[in-house]
Structure 1
Amino acid sequence: MAEQLCLDSTAAVLASVGQALGPTEWITVTQERINTFADATGDHQWIHVDPERAQAGPFGACVAHGYLTLSLANLFLPQLVRYERLKMGVNYGCDKVRFPAPVKVGARIRGRGEVVAAEPVKGDGVQITVRISVEIEGADKPGCVVDTISRLYFD
């Protein structure tokens, strides 16, 4: 795994724009994870949870929900960047979410990132936008690309 970026001040965040992050370690997307997500969201569409039917479907296997793949950005982000001297950080939202390729059950995925923007916000804070790409081992396209937005307040 690449070294994690450490940011400890508003100035450090502002100076980090353009910084490449990662990649993280690989994780395997299991049918159990997909089924648990289906239970949590109520989305039990057969392409996610019925291996027999999905094998004959358009992807040849069950695939992770797009929103499951998106949610894994929250797993990868703290592996890519950490904050020291942070009083408070909040998830402000996401922009430009895309799902270029399906993530099949059994696929190995990892996160790679880039700091694409940073700007001061009211109250002595800073807003950082980190683009996370969820890479699929052996695939030409990522499973998800999302611009995550966080608001940070340092000591």
Structure 2
Amino acid sequence: MTVTVNGLEELKKLAGSDLGTSGWIEVTQERIDTFADATGDHQWIHVDRERAEEGPFGAPVAHGCLTLSLFIPLFTELLDVRGVTTKVNYGLNRVRFPAPVKAGSRIRLAGRLAEAADVPGGVQITVDGTLEIEGGAKPAAVLQSLSRFYA
């Protein structure tokens, strides 16, 4: 369920709040191959299905940066900030990839709005995010994301 706020003052009041979890998204081999084409990273553990099955993970796995990139579309399911003119991905404080995402796996985002602070012309939020793998013992990624919203 999406948390919706109207304006920067309401956004700041969410500091310390759990944002819940997104829906699941499948990380298909086609998505992995498309990401490889877009980035030029065609390492065999991602795109060579037969060799990857014999490799350390037993299947092709998503690039860590592909997994990380899915944070944004999944995050938009958690938080909708209305009454602002601009939304900017400002950066990351920390990212770790505890477990690989095998082709065909599904992931979702669990998020918590850890902080909200004024910046010139807007508000910067810090989100603690965990990209969970369906049925997995460890998450695909654990991160802290920074976003800015301007009025």
Tell me if both proteins adopt one fold, taking TM over 0.5 as the criterion: yes
| Cα offset, 1:131, TM superposition | 1.8
For residue 86 of structure 1, give the secondary structure of its aligned residue in structure 2.
coil
TM-score scaled by length of structure 2: 0.95
Amino acid at match of 1:9: G
Residue 152, structure 1, aligned to residue 149, structure 2? yes
Deviations 1:23-72 (A, max 9, x none): 11111111000000000000000000011001110000000000000000
TM-score scaled by length of structure 1: 0.93
Residue 9, structure 1, aligned to residue 1, structure 2? no
| Cα offset, 1:74, TM superposition | 1.1
For residue 99 of structure 2, give the secondary structure of its aligned residue in structure 1.
coil
Residue 72, structure 1, aligned to residue 50, structure 2? no
Q: Which segments of structure 1 move beyond 3 Å, counting only runs of 4 or more?
A: none
CA distance in 2, matches of 1:7, 1:95: 24
Aligned Cα root-mean-square deviation (Å): 1.0
Deviations 1:2-30 (A, max 9, x none): x2111222222221112112311111111
Deviations 1:85-134 (A, max 9, x none): 112221111110111110001111111110011111123x1101112211
C-alpha contact (below 8 Å) 2:11/2:81 kept by paired residues: no
C-alpha contact (below 8 Å) 2:22/2:75 kept by paired residues: no
For residue 100 of structure 1, give the secondary structure of its aligned residue in structure 2.
coil
Q: Which runs of 5+ in 2 are unaligned?
A: none
Q: Which runs of 5+ in 1 are unaligned?
A: none
- Report the identity percentage: 53
Partner of 1:53: 51
Partner of 2:91: 93
Partner of 1:138: 135
CA distance in 2, matches of 1:32, 1:40: 12
